[in-house]
Amino acid sequence: MSMNTLALDTSAYSALRTGHQRAISLVQKARTILLPAVVLGELLGGFEYGRFRERNREGLHSFLQSNRVQVSSITAETAERYAAIYAYLRSVGRPIPTNDIWIAASVMEYSAVLLTTDRHYSFIPHILVEMLTPDRKN
């Protein structure tokens, strides 16, 4: 798959860090890697709670140093997209976690392809989703 901007949700970043081959391949091929600010917050929060706080922070810091990685901001434009996605999901009776709506809004704003393991993103129109499945170990 060829893509200009690949966005990672928390599950995709975790897959990348644990050596998921397809995640690595897609990240290597992307021109720009978008890390939504909400994902950054989820990761940092998880690190604070986890046993490997410093190692995980160092790995994230190293990842963020790449000139291909961009952290998205939450703007008024993001909020407009959030509102539209939220209203749509409510109208069709398919709620998803609030943070994931913010992530989808960022993906939509940046015209990115979202890399994830979470199937509920596929219910959101106007975003492209690339699903990761478990790596097969040989």
Examine the pLDDT at 137 and tell me if it is beyond 60. Answer: no
In a domain, 121, yes or no: yes
In a domain, 137, yes or no: no
In a domain, 138, yes or no: no
Check which CATH number belongs to the domain holding 57 and give it. Answer: 3.40.50.1010
In a domain, 54, yes or no: yes
Read off the pLDDT of residues 23-43 as tens digits, 9 standing for 90 and up. Answer: 999 999 999 999 999 999 999
- Which pLDDT score, from 0 to 100, does residue 2 have? 45
Domain count, the chain: 1
In a domain, 65, yes or no: yes
In Å, how far are 51, 54, 129 from 114, measured between CA atoms? Answer: 28, 27, 5
In sequence order, the 6+-apart residues with CB closer than 8 A to the CB of 23 are: 12, 15, 16, 115, 132
Our CA angle for 125, 11, 131, nearest 5°, is: 45
In a domain, 13, yes or no: yes
- Which pLDDT score, from 0 to 100, does residue 138 have? 40
Domain that holds residue 70: 5-131
DSSP string for 30-74: -SEEEEEHHHHHHHHHHHHHSTTHHHHHHHHHHHHTSTTEEEEPP
Are 11 and 118 in contact by the 8 Å Cβ rule? The answer is: yes
Return d(Cα 89, Cα 25) in angstroms, integer: 32
In a domain, 40, yes or no: yes
In a domain, 77, yes or no: yes
Q: Write out the two tokens for 30.
A: 């992307």
Examine the pLDDT at 122 and tell me if it is beyond 80. Answer: yes
Furthest CA-CA distance within the chain: 47
